[in-house]
Structure 1
Amino acid sequence: MEIKKLLEELLEQKKDNGGIENVVWIAAGGSNGGFYPAQYFMDRESKTIRSQMFTSNEFVYAPPKFCGKNTLAIICSMRGTPETIQAAKVAKSLGATTISLFVEKSGLTETCDYNIRYQSIAVDESKTEMVNSSIALRIAITLLYLVENYEGYNDAMEAFEIIDDIYRDALEYTKPLAKKWAEQNKDEKTITVIGSGPAMGSAYIFSICNLMEMVQVDSPTVNSCEFFHGPFEAVDKNSSIFLLVSEGRVRPADERVIKFLNRYGGEKAYILDAKELGINRIKDSVSEYFNHILFSPILNNVYLRQLSYVKKNDYMNRRYMWKVEY
């Protein structure tokens, strides 16, 4: 079902019963990080609807008291992670209307009231506007348009139309850059990833899902705004650092880190700028909200793959996942 039509129907169903007052975004791992653009958007733009992200097991163990009949729960899992299925059941038991984002049908799609299929970010043929983070952001933007008449709606819908073209160009632009970066970092035991604002979700996913999970490289994630409150003390000329520089209001925080790294960092202090990737082809009114949508597939499909190649470590291999009880 088309997202705008679905939300219109849900709002109509709830109009005499308080409407939609809350949205919860529930998932685990990379799916959880993929909700960050939607949450970031709601944090900055919503005037009347409360929005909060939860990792699946935290929601199961400690669901919020506000979750009830006026809550919309968006729950994501590619194949049906057990904790996420359980979280969907908890949300439903509390009275929330549940929508799953999924790739393969599972207990999650059996549990939820509505289901929206998405395309995996890791598949080269996938359309960028159809991956989980894009669909979640579209839900958030459309909901605020219907409830609060969000004025950036049309500009955002235009951005979804061109985001895949921007990504394809960025893909070719970054391939030689990633090759050089991977060669410099193939023997590193630790790579620190830094980002802020609208790129924080991409930084988090790159750390925990790409570097730590897929190539078993330790990877702290640091917010640019917190960098000067402790983490910068660990920087020297040998530090391997990957900085995401976003476009938008929080960009000055990333630029402050650049100045420090230029003075105290070394050759393995790497900068990936959303402006170089073409984000300014999107209108300024909404471009901030598309940083993650552009960064994450580039990190997953270019930088991760190249590092995996030079390390001769197949990124589909795991040490524990799918192999042991945990």
Structure 2
Amino acid sequence: MNSNTRPVADPRPAFVENPEQADQQQALGRRIITDGIRTVFLVGCGGSLAAYGPSVYTLDNRVPQLVVQAMNSDEFNYRKPAGLGPTSIVLVGSHTGTTAETVRAIDTAKAAGAESVVSLTSDPESPLATHADLAFTDRPTKWAWDPKEIAMARITQGILDAAGLAASGFDEALAALPADIPNVFADLDPALHRIAEDLATKPVTYALGSGPMEGMARAFAMFYMQEMLWRHAAAYNAGEFLHGPFEMTESQAPYLVLCGEDATRPMTDRALGFLNRYSEHVHVIDSREFRLAGVPDGVRAEIAPIVMSAVTTRLAQHLEAVLDHDLSTRRYMFSVEY
């Protein structure tokens, strides 16, 4: 750790939706139900794959007539799943729109006769956008959270609406996020800095979550800690903690536990109860403590993962300062052939 901690960067700006695209995304979701689509494949790599997590959780739990499968792009290309065909829609996501295996996934989907291929990317001129049947694009900015998470929330909302399963207050909640999340940052910044200072002194960080928070834990460990900060880290589903990682618990090992408000919360609470007895470095980020004045109680569980994504991004900014290591620095990515 660098002894001369540099200032923490300002929070990244809140993503503000394009109303026209939001309407189109919801319309796509409704069409998935009305057109009798049976399978939705959500294809991407890294953070783009992680952005699908909350929607997969919601749709798996609430829409019985629809199979939703998130897959790494090249796994999709090599496996060519049996459900891929005229009754499937494929969504492909890449921030730059140039990830080679994700671009190839468009050809895989079209060759199998998928009903349509929809891309989520920041660049409307990228191969991902121009080769897809429909493209939703945002602006190439480092946002407080991934715009693909909002796009997927809108598509999910459309699916639930057409299936007669939509919860009231979802539109209101998404509209409130640009105003609410800065308040969450203001509340949590002192605690996030303390967490960063502790994690920076440890050789490895373990992250845990359940339900949609498992994906948030995995994203933090893989993309922020490993890819961007070059720190050893691992992430686990809280329900799997007993089956292996449990035995590695030590008093000085640090744990980052992400707690949500969905039905799987007891799994995380169980792991947390154990960790609080046997580790002296347990750090909890609990969405129940998020000050979300514009989010109705009935949809907090669905909105919490998007906010947690923003909060873990903010934690990474604190680590960037404590470690004096730019989040944009890479050793190999974009620099060597792979």
Q: Fold-level match, TM-score > 0.5?
A: yes
- Give CA-to-partner distance per residue, 1:173-213, whole Å, 9 cap, x none: 12111211111221322101100112111111101110000
Higher RCO (Cα < 8 Å, 6 or more apart):
2
Q: State the secondary structure of the residue aligned to 1:238.
A: coil
The unaligned stretches of length 5 or more in structure 1 are none
1:278 aligns with 2:294: no
1:107 aligns with 2:98: no
Amino acid at match of 2:319: L
Shift of 1:283: 3.1
1:134 aligns with 150
- 1:160/1:119 CA distance change after superposition, 3 Å: farther
1:165 aligns with 179
- Give CA-to-partner distance per residue, 1:197-250, whole Å, 9 cap, x none: 121111111011100000011111111111122211111110011000111211
1:19 aligns with 36
1:239 aligns with 2:253: yes
Determine which of 133, 142, 149 is the counterpart of 2:164: 149
Off by >6 Å, runs of 4+ in structure 1: 9-15
Within 5 Å, which residues of 2 pair with 1:41-60? 41-60=58-77
- Counterpart CA distance in 2 for 1:281 and 1:247 is 17
Is 1:191–1:218's contact at 8 Å kept on the other side of the alignment?
Answer: yes
1:174 aligns with 2:188: yes
Determine which of 320, 323, 334 is the counterpart of 1:308: 320
- Counterpart CA distance in 2 for 1:151 and 1:141 is 7
Q: State the secondary structure of the residue aligned to 1:324.
A: coil
Is 2:160–2:166's contact at 8 Å kept on the other side of the alignment?
Answer: no
Determine which of 194, 209, 213 is the counterpart of 1:195: 209
RMSD: 2.2
2:112 aligns with 94
Paired residue total: 316
- 1:35/1:121 CA distance change after superposition, 3 Å: farther
1:76 aligns with 93
Identity %: 26
Task: Output the TM-score relative to the length of structure 2.
Answer: 0.87
- Counterpart CA distance in 1 for 2:180 and 2:140 is 18
- 1:78/1:5 CA distance change after superposition, 3 Å: closer
- Give CA-to-partner distance per residue, 1:234-269, whole Å, 9 cap, x none: 111100110001112111111112211211111x21
- 1:7/1:272 CA distance change after superposition, 3 Å: closer
The unaligned stretches of length 5 or more in structure 2 are 1-19
Is 2:169–2:296's contact at 8 Å kept on the other side of the alignment?
Answer: yes
1:290 aligns with 2:303: yes
Is 1:25–1:74's contact at 8 Å kept on the other side of the alignment?
Answer: yes
Q: State the secondary structure of the residue aligned to 2:42.
A: strand
Shift of 1:280: 8.1
